[in-house]
Amino acid sequence: KNQVEQSPQSLIILEGKNCTLQCNYTVSPFSNLRWYKQDTGRGPVSLTIMTFSENTKSNGRYTATLDADTKQSSLHITASQLSDSASYICVVTLHMEYGNKLVFGAGTILRVKS
Amino acid sequence: KAGVTQTPRYLIKTRGQQVTLSCSPISGHRSVSWYQQTPGQGLQFLFEYFSETQRNKGNFPGRFSGRQFSNSRSEMNVSTLELGDSALYLCASSAPLAGGPNEQFFGPGTRLTVL
């Protein structure tokens, strides 16, 4: 069964600290893995997209890693800010003959406190 | 460039009614996907349309249907609403990245409440 599991479910950190979110997947055949940030009441916004051959990708203070052998990904947030408080969703794309089929993780809710 | 727009943003219906949600993709995007997001189930894929044709479908009952018009705008319809259909319905449009995977851009969503 195609599944994406994220941990932890929720996380509280102090402003300025770093944190790492985890994503494990069993999706096959794999096409790419994405991390999204979703603020409350809004649509998800893409942070990074990585294909099978990419190990790491950065977007400002966000750095995603991918280990396609162990089917694990992580999202590292450096020097967290209050505005980082959001849900972070790991999404794996199934390789389809036509179009996209995305499998979503349940998300990690991050709260950054001052 | 304008983003993905969805209308209405909020909707309240009663059980048994039907509802139609609308999505306008980013100009030039021909693929539109629909998702249901609930606190218990997270984001779940409903269907994807490309050039007016449904090319992928998730595991939802036939009460959920959609269509895409020649201008790439898409509508989603839910008939015989149930309480469990209360959710945030998200639309995403996509276009291929140069030499890479499709980038999906999400709209703000339509919050549907079924009473």
Predicted local distance difference test score (pLDDT) of residue B2? 78
What's the pLDDT tens digit per position in A55-103? 999 999 999 999 989 999 999 999 999 999 999 999 998 877 766 678 8
**Rg (alpha carbons) of chain B, rounded to whole number:** 14
pLDDT digits over B26-57, tens only?
A: 998 989 999 999 987 788 989 999 889 998 88
Residue in B closest to A6 by C-alpha: B42
- C-alpha–C-alpha distance, residues A89 and B43, integer Å: 9
Place of tokens 């991918």: A66
Contacts of B102 in chain A (CB under 8 A): 100
In whole angstroms, give the CA distance from residue B62 to residue B84.
15
The three-point CA angle A90-B94-A96 to 5° equals 70
Does B60 reach chain A within 8 Å, measured CB to CB? Answer: no
Q: Nearest-CA residue of chain B relative to A87? A: B42
- Best A96, A100, A101, A103 residue to mutate vs chain B (most B CBs within 10 Å): A100
Q: Using a CB–CB cutoff of 8 Å, tell me whether B50 touches chain A.
A: yes
With a pLDDT cut of 70, the percent of chain A lying above it is 97
Q: Is the peptide bond before B39 cis (omega within 30 degrees of 0)?
A: no
Tokens of B46: 């409903």
